[in-house]
Amino acid sequence: MAPSVTHVSGTVTGDVEVRFTESGLAVCRFRLAQTPTQWDAAAQQWHDGTPISYVCTAWRDLARNATESLTDGVSVLVTGRITELRDNTVYLSVNDLGISLRQRIAYTETSLPSPAAAAPLSPTTSAAPPAATQPARVRASGQTAGQTGSPPAWWEQQRASEWRHPAARTSADAVS
């Protein structure tokens, strides 16, 4: 009998744990909570049902990408095989996952805005963003002009030096 494949929409609860096997394969584990809703015709409103708990396990590149991308509270869509049902928890071996766009915007490495896009506009700045922040033309192959398939250098530098939250900027930063 083939394993049961399911599609789950839920919220990541807690941190993603990543480990490596002795042979170097990445494996990550994260918890997911799904709260189904039911329509109450008598009251004419939606009601939350009993939450369903999932423990999801991903391997290899999917594990590495999930570890870099997922944080507590992020809504995700998961496709996976049910491997076990234990203690009111469903255990899934994840085949694929994605961030739900219902409540947020997600950027891919090729669609990242420039750091200047996050800077607040001052009254003296025009409403139009500078030419450097305009999106590049996309070729028929799906890649932008000058793209080599890896993140731009500024992305790696910012990631290595830890991202600074725009609200944490000082007044001296805003002037420069």
Q: What is the DSSP string of 102-128?
A: SS-----TTSPPPGGGGSPPPTTS-SS
**Encoded tokens for 53:** 């708990």
User: Average of pLDDT values for 15-31?
Assistant: 93
User: Average of pLDDT values for 148-162?
Assistant: 67
52-56, 133-137, 151-155: the lowest-pLDDT one: 133-137
- Helix, strand and coil content of the chain, in percent to the nearest 5, comes to 20, 40, 45
- Residue ranges of domains in the chain: 5-99, 108-120+136-163
Residue that has been written with the tokens 């008598």 in this structure: 42
pLDDT at 128: 53
Residue 172 has pLDDT above 70, yes or no: no
54-58, 65-69, 128-132: the lowest-pLDDT one: 128-132
Q: How confident is the model at residue 59 (pLDDT cuts 50, 70, 90)?
A: very high
pLDDT at 176: 45
Q: Does the global pTM surpass 0.75? A: no
pLDDT at 109: 74
C-alpha to C-alpha distance for 52 and 10, rounded to whole angstroms: 9
Which CATH number fits the domain 5-99, given the four candidates 3.50.30.50, 1.10.4160.10, 2.60.40.10, 2.40.50.140?
A: 2.40.50.140
User: Average of pLDDT values for 24-44?
Assistant: 93
User: Average of pLDDT values for 61-88?
Assistant: 93
6-10, 31-35, 56-60, 103-107: the lowest-pLDDT one: 103-107
pLDDT tens-digit series, residues 91-113: 999 999 999 988 888 777 777 77
C-alpha to C-alpha distance for 130 and 156, rounded to whole angstroms: 22
Q: How confident is the model at residue 123 (pLDDT cuts 50, 70, 90)?
A: low
Q: Which of residues 3 and 125 earns the better pLDDT score?
A: 3
Residue that has been written with the tokens 């899934």 in this structure: 92
C-alpha to C-alpha distance for 76 and 33, rounded to whole angstroms: 10
Q: How confident is the model at residue 34 (pLDDT cuts 50, 70, 90)?
A: very high
